[in-house]
């Protein structure tokens, strides 16, 4: 069978990355020191619309396969300078990060023991030289199918992970996730001695909004509140939906004075412009309680204590007239209590 390729564009791809830098099941790295075989493989694969990186040295191939956007399929010659294909296989399988790499070992050794050794080293399949073009095509296609399946599984997995940690309605962290994040940040800030703050926000008279305009409009209001809260914080702060119309915000490395400023910005941002909904324009306000991990003279070591302190301050904000910010005692020196809408 004639294995010579029809096309004559045989330029060697620049080493390391696949040509457009993006990894996908149709990217293939060829490592083959024999220029004829390398050229044949490269040209056929390109003809079948694979994006190819072709290298002639095992050490270069191993380097390329460790890059973030490296090809997902590797066709490796067994005998090569630098590193042989078997050793590259072993190293690929020891790599713990990145998506699965499909390895097709190319060898002149056709003995059963060699094939077993190749598969044992981590190859998914093998091809003996000289190979039949149709067989090459079928085996590469089988590899691509497995990689596509792998991609679909990873996508489903990350979607599930997202759903498990996020609130459906608002897209914010859900209660479990925000409490996990708070736990992590509480431990971290206690360890490194950085300030940590939490803000608990609750919509005012939200039941009335539901009662007056209906549940779907209530939902839209919750979504817009979530949006405005997100807009009010630094992009490395965590905003979660703690309960029905309660939000918990975790602010790492945030000095107490900034914490109060942020809470006030949230309150203002929610209340300053009425919400534009399908049921018309609706004024919305929130009440806020603020607590910090390191209060004057004491430290709240557990996340539950922090949440409780913020919740107690929130309760005060409600009791003191709503649409206001109250602090847990001891956050700022000499600052006994509160800021509120138009009445400091
Ligand atoms: P307050 O100012 O004291 O906080 O009064 P409130 O009316 O906001 O508080 P209350 O606890 O009486 O009512 C909260 C309401 O939030 C009742 C509940 O039906 C509504 N709610 C909780 N979750 C959702 C949701 O996902 N969608 C909608 N539309 N309403 C919700
Ligand atoms: Mg060789
Ligand atoms: Mg409420
Ligand atoms: Mg509430």
pLDDT tens per residue across span 221-263: 999 999 999 999 998 999 999 999 999 999 999 988 899 999 9
Q: What is the pLDDT of residues 278-337, one digit of tens each?
A: 999 999 999 999 999 876 556 666 889 999 999 999 999 999 999 999 998 877 654 444
Phi, psi at 84, each rounded to 5°: -85, 165
pLDDT at residue 343 greater than cutoff 50 = no
- The closest residue, in CA terms, to atom 30 on ligand 1 is 218
HSE-CB at 121 with a 13 A cutoff on CA atoms is 23
Residue 169 lies in a domain: no
Domain co-membership, 126 together with 228: no
Domain co-membership, 95 together with 127: yes
Domain co-membership, 102 together with 128: yes
- Helix (H/G/I), strand (E/B), else coil: 191: helix
Phi, psi at 311, each rounded to 5°: -65, -40
- Helix (H/G/I), strand (E/B), else coil: 321: coil
Largest CA distance in the chain: 90
CATH number at residue 256: 3.30.70.270
Domain co-membership, 155 together with 290: no
Residue 49 lies in a domain: yes
Residue 268 Cα to ligand 4 middle (Å): 19
Of these residues, 32, 185, 224, 245, which one is catalytic?
A: 245
* Final residue in a domain of this structure, among 132, 163, 194: 163
pTM for this entry: 0.72
Q: Is the dihedral of CA 54, 59, 62, 63 positive or negative?
A: negative
* Final residue in a domain of this structure, among 133, 163, 193: 163
C-alpha 200/C-alpha 308 separation (Å) is 10
C-alpha 45/C-alpha 154 separation (Å) is 26
Domain co-membership, 210 together with 314: yes
Q: Is the dihedral of CA 224, 230, 231, 233 positive or negative?
A: positive
Q: What is the average pLDDT across 98-125?
A: 89
pLDDT at residue 339 greater than cutoff 70 = no
Which ligand is in closest contact with the Cα of 318? 1
Residues 6+ apart with CB under 8 A from 163: none
Which ligand is in closest contact with the Cα of 76? 2
- For the Cβ of 202 lying below 6 angstroms from any atom of ligand 1, the answer is yes
Residue 137 lies in a domain: yes
β-sheet bridge partners, residue 200: 248, 289
Give whole-number Cα distances, 107 to 115, 119, 180, in Å.
9, 12, 51
- Helix (H/G/I), strand (E/B), else coil: 43: helix
Is residue 16 within 8 A of residue 69, CB to CB? The reply is no
Tokens of 36: 């004829």
Residue 312 lies in a domain: yes
Provide the domain limits for residue 223. 175-342
245 counts as catalytic: yes
* Final residue in a domain of this structure, among 110, 133, 163: 163
Residues 6+ apart with CB under 8 A from 310: 198, 199, 200, 248, 289, 290, 291, 328
Phi, psi at 191, each rounded to 5°: -70, -45
Q: What is the pLDDT of residues 325-338, one digit of tens each?
A: 999 887 765 444 44
Residue 190 lies in a domain: yes
Burial of residue 111 (CB within 10 Å: 0-12, 13-18, 19+) is exposed
Domain co-membership, 181 together with 115: no
- The closest residue, in CA terms, to atom 26 on ligand 1 is 244
| DSSP string across 127-160 | EESSPPHHHHHHHHHHHHHHHHHHHHHHHHHHHH
Domain co-membership, 117 together with 202: no
Q: What is the pLDDT of residues 252-272, one digit of tens each?
A: 999 888 999 999 999 999 999
Q: pLDDT at position 181, please?
A: 96
Domain co-membership, 138 together with 203: no
Q: What is the pLDDT of residues 163-212, one digit of tens each?
A: 999 999 999 999 999 999 999 999 888 888 888 999 999 999 999 999 99
CATH number at residue 93: 3.40.50.2300
Residue 63 lies in a domain: yes
Is residue 202 within 8 A of residue 229, CB to CB? The reply is no
Domain co-membership, 26 together with 134: yes
β-sheet bridge partners, residue 199: 249, 290
Residue 257 lies in a domain: yes
- For the Cβ of 167 lying below 6 angstroms from any atom of ligand 1, the answer is no
Residue 131 lies in a domain: yes
Domain co-membership, 117 together with 75: yes
Work out the angle at residue 292's Cα, subtended by the Cα atoms of residues 324 and 334, and round it to the nearest 5 degrees.
70
Domain co-membership, 89 together with 43: yes
- For the Cβ of 242 lying below 6 angstroms from any atom of ligand 1, the answer is no
Domain co-membership, 219 together with 138: no
Q: How many domains does the chain have?
A: 2
Q: pLDDT at position 295, please?
A: 60
pLDDT at residue 19 greater than cutoff 80 = no
- Helix (H/G/I), strand (E/B), else coil: 269: helix
- For the Cβ of 151 lying below 6 angstroms from any atom of ligand 1, the answer is no
Angle between helices 256-271 and 215-232 (to 10 degrees): 140
């Amino acid at each position: 069978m004639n294995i010579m390729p029809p096309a004559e564009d045989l330029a060697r791809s620049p080493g390391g990355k696949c040509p457009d830098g993006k990894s996908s099941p149709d990217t293939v790295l060829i490592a083959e020191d024999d220029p004829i075989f390398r050229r044949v493989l490269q040209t056929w694969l390109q003809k079948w619309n694979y994006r190819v990186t072709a290298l002639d040295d095992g050490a270069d191939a191993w380097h390329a396969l460790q890059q973030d956007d490296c090809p997902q399929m590797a066709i490796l010659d067994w005998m090569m300078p630098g590193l042989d294909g078997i050793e590259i296989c072993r190293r690929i399988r020891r790599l713990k990060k990145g998506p699965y790499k499909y390895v097709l070992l190319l060898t002149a050794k056709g003995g059963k023991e060699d094939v077993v050794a190749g598969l044992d080293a981590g190859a998914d399949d093998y091809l003996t030289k000289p190979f039949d073009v149709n067989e090459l095509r079928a085996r590469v296609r089988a590899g691509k199918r497995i990689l596509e399946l792998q991609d679909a599984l990873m996508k489903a997995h990350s979607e599930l992970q997202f759903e498990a940690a996020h609130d459906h309605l608002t897209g914010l962290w859900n209660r479990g996730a925000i409490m996990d994040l708070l736990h992590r940040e509480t431990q971290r800030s206690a360890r490194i001695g950085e300030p940590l703050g939490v803000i608990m926000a609750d919509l005012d008279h939200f039941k009335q909004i539901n009662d007056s305009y209906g549940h779907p409009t209530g939902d839209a209001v919750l979504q817009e509140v979530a949006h405005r809260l997100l807009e009010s914080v630094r992009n490395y702060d965590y905003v979660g939906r703690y309960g029905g119309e309660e939000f918990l915000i975790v602010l790492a490395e945030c000095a107490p004075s900034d914490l109060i400023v942020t809470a006030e910005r949230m309150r203002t941002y929610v209340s300053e412009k009425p919400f534009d909904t399908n049921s018309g324009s609706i004024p919305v306000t929130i009440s806020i309680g603020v607590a910090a991990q390191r209060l004057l003279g004491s430290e709240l070591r557990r996340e539950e204590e922090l949440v409780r302190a913020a919740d107690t301050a929130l309760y005060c904000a409600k009791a003191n007239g709503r649409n206001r910010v109250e602090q847990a005692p001891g956050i700022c020196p000499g600052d006994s209590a509160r800021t509120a809408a138009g009445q400091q």
